[in-house]
Amino acid sequence: MRLTNEMRSAFADKVISKIPVRSDWTRDKVIAEFEKRLLRSMPEDVQVFAKKYPQIVVRSSRHIRWLDYKDDRGYHYGYVQAIHTADLAAIDTSDLQAAWSEHTAEMDERKALRERVYEQACACTTLAALEVAFPDLKGLMPKPVIITPRSLPVAAKGLTDDLVKLGLEIPQ
């Protein structure tokens, strides 16, 4: 069976998805922790009020440069929602910066590994060649596509039966 680029890409994605992610600090978790720390830096009465009435607390978006990143869909800016008077300099974020840089390094490594798997898969033209190239990953190989006719050839079957009745011998 010949491989398509979609099959090769799906194979590479499946291989990478089986590798567990070591860093659990995703971008959303870093932003949530950043917002919690900003809230804790506020006076206690403001914290109580913000928890009791979150819909009426005035919040503003703060740009955090080290959370900016660029991917296939474009450039993404890192904004954190905080109470308007919260001071970014009042909190220590060095551990969050380290966790975020560790996470981005791991994601870049995973992306590079996926590209390597995809390049090796592109060198294979058939499923058999892919199994030779990746003998340990047979469980992750793409399934062969079985093409079935859209409709059964009922009319031809009836004609064949009629021809057999008249004496046509069909080789087995």
Prediction pTM value: 0.68
Classified as helix, coil or strand, 89 is helix
Q: Is residue 69 part of a domain?
A: yes
CA distance 46 to 48: 5
Instruction: Domain count for the chain, please give it.
Output: 1
Tokens of 120: 């090796």
User: pLDDT tens digits, residue range 68-103?
Assistant: 888 888 998 888 888 888 888 888 989 999 999 999
Sign of CA dihedral 9, 11, 17, 22: negative
User: pLDDT tens digits, residue range 106-153?
Assistant: 999 999 999 999 999 999 999 999 999 998 888 888 887 777 666 655
**Residue 69, domain extent:** 5-140
**CB 25 within 8 Å of CB 103:** yes
Q: Is residue 51 part of a domain?
A: yes
